[in-house]
Homo-oligomer: A and B are copies of this chain.
């Protein structure tokens, strides 16, 4: 998605430790007009698959999951929760993952009420690096018996093992921007 590559080049910041900051439009401030376009693009890529639910994980996946769901005609979004809150039912599907950004392990959960075996799910997330979040989200769908049509990713780091890992599991992954190399102040995209 050319528009996204230009946005990342203009506003993204490649920091040390392989951190790409896109806080200006994606995961702190949200450029809503731009996310509307991202939602339309995911809908175009996964049209005619019978998607009836968008699944993501809090917090930074929520905004793009909502605009994607709108593009599919306002289907429901479910966001997996990172912390078992006091008002969370015990009746949940649960999957473990490691956050490389925050250097810690945690669980994500989805209430069994909101993920079913008749669901046809599109998984949406902002980043794909090691594939930890996607793997956990797929696990939640498997536990529910729901069908996963694929994963829509805004920014993929192609030099990390996430894509291969998820594709080897048999799932389609569509990334709107694919970074092949990143260094402090340098961002290079895969040429399609």
Contact = CB atoms under 8 A, between A and B. Distances in A.
A128 interface: no
B74 A30 contact: no
**Which size class do A's interface residues fall under?**
35 or more
Contact of A86 (B19, B28, B58, B113): B19
A103 B87 CA distance: 12
A23 B88 CA distance: 9
Interface in A135-191: none
Nearest to A110: B28
A25 to B, nearest CB: 8
A161 B70 CA distance: 36
Interface string A45-71: 000000000000011001101110110
Given A58-B58, A67-B66, A77 B111 contact: no
Given A77-B63, A85-B102, A113 B36 contact: no
Given A63-B62, A76-B31, A87 B15 contact: yes
A32 B75 contact: yes
A36 B77 contact: no
The 9 closest A-B pairs by CB, nearest first: A58-B59, A59-B59, A33-B74, A30-B77, A29-B114, A62-B62, A32-B74, A19-B87, A32-B69
A79 interface: yes
Interface-central residue, A23, A76, A81, A87, by most chain B CB under 10 Å: A87
Contacts of A21: 87, 89
A113 B25 CA distance: 12
B81 A28 contact: yes
Interface in A72-106: 74-79, 81, 83, 85-87, 89, 101-103
